[in-house]
Structure 1
């Protein structure tokens, strides 16, 4: 890849020096993200029999997030000023990070689609049979993300030095044909599915007679839908918007655009901290509101019944 002189100078100035912001942010993501996802994994494994289809997707999402987080300590080491990393290690960790990032995108989309089908077609035997194929869907996602990523990284022909490492751009960020495929398959289609399913979930909640009672907090479910969609968009839209801009520059990419790419990638990695919010809403909202609401209503009915019975007993 060819760089202009000013870009090379800026790039050289960015290495060998501590980048406090990236060190702090990646350290925060590593520690907090690892703890939250580890707790989520323990919870899912302990409740493996509860809502098994959703748990399957969420367990795989936790694994993808943890694998992504495990690549971050080396990035922290690099941003501490230690730029003596071999290029093959940088590319291998970049491969793992990108594959798991897109794995997270596909799994979040699958969770949203699964919820939408379960809510809108609860009595459909065909839908229920399809939902039971969650393990096969997850296997397909792993095969797709790593299967599509490895050939792209192996096809790199340009000569690079160790100074590129995490400041360099992946090949799919500079080749228009690869960028378009990545944007369409890796982000465009999942975003459309997320939008349609979120609309379908919101519509089902508004029309549900159960949601109009005290058994289910419809507003909380609406917040769950909105939160999941916002997390998805805020985490991944900036990164893919930068990819579009990078593809327009061709090989002569200025340093500010490469810096913007690094910041957008960091924001995408921050999704590993936000995903547990999706876990909380998904596993808590329907379970706690429906079950606890029913218990409260039964308790109130029993209390009223007891009071009525006692009032009918004559005083001695």
Structure 2
């Protein structure tokens, strides 16, 4: 059985690990306009080479993203958690975004191993559920954290006189907790319907998502498109538009307060732009997948194109979790300053520890603090 046949037998796709278009094909009936001869493999173009190529690169790509993403996002969290200055609202949101990205990339090795083993799942059902719930949950959380970051920049630049609770770090932490809960609730269907089962046609024990009815996936696709992308994109676009207009205003731009906020806003706008670039193709493919259920564009060729497009667009989407930390370093001047001070302090402590091991931890903190100014 080649890679394409295994994929279709398992009806697996990424990153939400929903079923593929095959499971969504309508049942045959007198009113059906679908030409079922198009679904006969003998009448369909053979895409085995494309599937084999994808299968050979999937594990390597996922492991690479995972290793780089875990190291990069781990360092970002260290900077936000160890900085001496109290976290700003933007720091809270970006820190939670880094945490969501870290969890996301930490789950990829499980699927890299599974794909390398011909989709045989060897980690047990609890891990099957946990990994896939974590991936879905952290996708939604990442989107909502980006919305919060966008709203925070909007309030800071466009509505600077509005001292909303949203611009207080304590409230930002509570909001983030609520976001994590919402992300989990949106992922409950995966927790319920994801399980490890033997798939006879593929000959493997697979971690599959088996909805009780194809319409469940349509609802899932619509929820993903609307709640996980369309509505957040509208909010982000609205905030970003007004932010850009404000930054172009000559008089407002000269304000000292706006100058400091402008640097942070450049980073935020870059992160938002990269998110849209990485995730828009996946959302478009999922929307087309939903249309396919209603026989808008039926046929075997369309099914092949959708299945392969889901894979390719997903790989681009996964890269977003690894790219973010590098954006902080390249675009974020304040973040670079914080990183230098945090890791400089850690290096200083290490040098002091080896040169004066008799110092108490309190004495060491006082000694190192003298070399670190305010952030």
TM-score relative to the length of structure 2? 0.63
- The answer to whether structure 1 residue 28 and structure 2 residue 64 are counterparts is yes
Alignment correspondent of 2:199: 161
Inter-CA distance 79–17: structure 2 relative to 1 (3 Å threshold): farther
Aligned residues: 287
Question: Residue 189 of structure 1: CA displacement?
Answer: 1.0
Q: List aligned pairs for 1:93-104, cutoff 5 A.
A: 93-104=131-142
Report the CA distance between 1:127 and its aligned residue. 5.3
Secondary structure, aligned partner of 2:160: coil
User: Residue 206 of structure 1 is aligned with which of 220, 235, 248?
Assistant: 248
SS in 2 for 1:263: helix
Q: CA shift at 1:23, angstroms?
A: 2.3
From the superposition, tell whether residues 240 and 168 of structure 1 become closer, same or farther in structure 2 (CA, over 3 Å).
farther
Indicate if the aligned counterparts of 1:202 and 1:225 stay in contact, CA closer than 8 A. Answer: no
- Counterpart Cα distance in 1 of 2:255 and 2:164: 29
What is the match of residue 61 of structure 1?
A: 97
Q: Is the 8 A contact 2:100 2:139 kept in 1?
A: yes
Aligned to 2:350: none
Q: Which residue of 1 aligns with 2:275?
A: 232
2:220 aligns to what?
Answer: 178
Q: Does 1:119 align with 2:157?
A: yes
Please, which of 233, 238, 241 is the counterpart of residue 196 of structure 1?
Answer: 238
How has the CA–CA distance of structure 1 residues 134 and 33 changed in structure 2, closer, same or farther, with 3 Å as cutoff?
same
C-alpha separation in 2, matches of 1:15 and 1:167: 20
1:254-269 paired onto structure 2 within 5 Å: 254-269=303-318
Q: Secondary structure at the match of 1:98?
A: helix
Is the contact made by 1:173 and 1:243 (CA closer than 8 Å) also made in structure 2?
A: no
Partner of 1:133: 171
Find the aligned partners of 2:215 and 2:93 in 1 and give their Cα distance: 28
The structure-2 alpha-carbon separation of the partners of 1:216 and 1:166, relative to structure 1 and needing over 3 Å to count, comes to farther
Name the structure where helix makes up a greater proportion of residues: 1
Give ranges in structure 1 of 5+ residues lacking alignment.
Answer: 289-316
Structure-2 separation of matches of 1:234 and 1:58: 19
Q: Which runs of 5+ in 2 are unaligned?
A: 1-22, 26-38, 338-375
Q: Deviation digits for residues 165-223 of structure 1, max 9, x if unmatched?
A: 88967859973233222211111111111111111211221125363489949997785
Give the 3 Å change call, closer, same or farther, for CA 167–287 of structure 1 in structure 2: closer
Contact 2:190 2:209 in 1 (8 A): no
Matched position secondary structure for 1:83: coil
Match of 1:279 in 2: 328
Residues 231 and 143 (structure 1 numbering): CA distance in 2 closer, same or farther, change over 3 Å?
same
Within 5 Å, which residues of 2 pair with 1:10-29?
A: 19-29=55-65
Which stretch of the first structure deviates more once superposed, 245-254 or 266-275? 245-254
> Match for residue 80 of structure 2?
44
Q: TM-score, structure 1 length as denominator?
A: 0.74
1:68-111 alpha-carbon deviations (Å, 9 max, x no partner): 11111112212323432158444542221121112111111111
